[in-house]
Amino acid sequence: MKLKFVFLLWVSFGIVGCLNAQQANDSIVHVIEKDTTNLKLQFKSVVIPAVFVSYGIIGLESGQIKGFNSGVRTEVAEHIDEKVSIDDFTQYAPLVSVYALSAMGVESKSSLKKRLIVSSTATLLMALTVNSFKMTASVERPDGTSFNSFPSGHTATAFMGAELMNQEYKHQSIWYSIAGYTVATGTGVFRMYNNRHWLSDVVAGAGVGILSAKAGYWLYPYVSKLFNGKKPNKATTFLPMYDGKQVQVGLISRF
């Protein structure tokens, strides 16, 4: 059956992502005021994404993992009819949903200001980490077009958004978390389907994205101080966006 292997990858990787969503939810400290909810830096909340990143880094030198990457690539290639560009759009879907759901009336855990600061911090950290790895690792892409394959920026962006979506809306329904991680997983799968990344690139990208989102919450108490001026009626927020190739910064200001 066409794309059967790709579908199995999607399901298996998605299950792992949902397990991380459950662990992340368990690490939230619930308080009376909804906008003061922050994540504690607990070991169990970073185990899965840390393992993802470690797997990718080890894979840079491990002949066994490289061989497995090649095997997966060969298996996927047998099912490719033609490339699709859906991953160029799905990478942003979870992050956009963090704001779209709120606009549609679904109550999030955090205020708009907090979500903007957390997502901006997470995006900046994710972009810096991804680009640093790309410049130092110099891994050739499966299609041979360049040497910036590791890690997958598209996947990192998608999983960062999925984790933000999980933290903001899981209290409403577990299906929001499942939806976010499913889209993020699909993004990673299609990066391999389009012959743009190795499996270890995608796994590492997922870890980087999740960790960046968590770091956004951990750093919020400190970063938010930068936006607390003497005049409370004014607020300015920088919203960086990463498209897999370059970082763009948007400015949102309230007067």
Lowest-confidence segment of 76-80, 106-110, 136-140, 228-232 by average pLDDT: 228-232
Which alpha helices (H) appear in the chain, and where do they start and end? 4-26, 47-58, 63-77, 87-90, 93-103, 112-137, 153-169, 174-193, 199-218, 220-223
- What confidence category does residue 242 fall into, taking pLDDT thresholds of 50, 70 and 90? low
Which of residues 2 and 224 earns the better pLDDT score?
Answer: 224
Lowest-confidence segment of 37-46, 124-133, 150-159, 217-226 by average pLDDT: 37-46
Distance (Å) of CA 26 to CA 23, 32, 75, 161, 254: 5, 17, 37, 19, 35
Cβ-count burial of 205 within 10 angstroms (0-12 exposed, 13-18 middle, 19+ buried)? Answer: buried
CA dihedral 205, 209, 215, 216 (to 10 degrees): 150
pLDDT at residue 73 greater than cutoff 50? yes
Question: How large is the average pLDDT for residues 46-68?
Answer: 95
pLDDT at residue 237 greater than cutoff 70? no
Distance (Å) of CA 199 to CA 16, 92, 178: 15, 20, 21
Cα–Cα distance, 16 to 184 (Å, whole number): 12
Question: How large is the average pLDDT for residues 46-62?
Answer: 95
Lowest-confidence segment of 71-80, 94-103, 244-253 by average pLDDT: 244-253
pLDDT at residue 212 greater than cutoff 80? yes
- What confidence category does residue 40 fall into, taking pLDDT thresholds of 50, 70 and 90? low
pLDDT at 5: 44
Q: Is the pTM of this model over 0.85?
A: no
Which of residues 228 and 132 earns the better pLDDT score?
Answer: 132
pLDDT at 97: 97
Q: pLDDT > 70: what percent of the chain?
A: 73
pLDDT at 41: 56
pLDDT at residue 158 greater than cutoff 60? yes
**How do residues 93-151 score in pLDDT, each as one tens digit?**
999 999 999 999 999 999 999 999 999 999 999 999 999 999 999 999 999 999 999 99
- What confidence category does residue 226 fall into, taking pLDDT thresholds of 50, 70 and 90? confident
Which of residues 1 and 93 earns the better pLDDT score?
Answer: 93
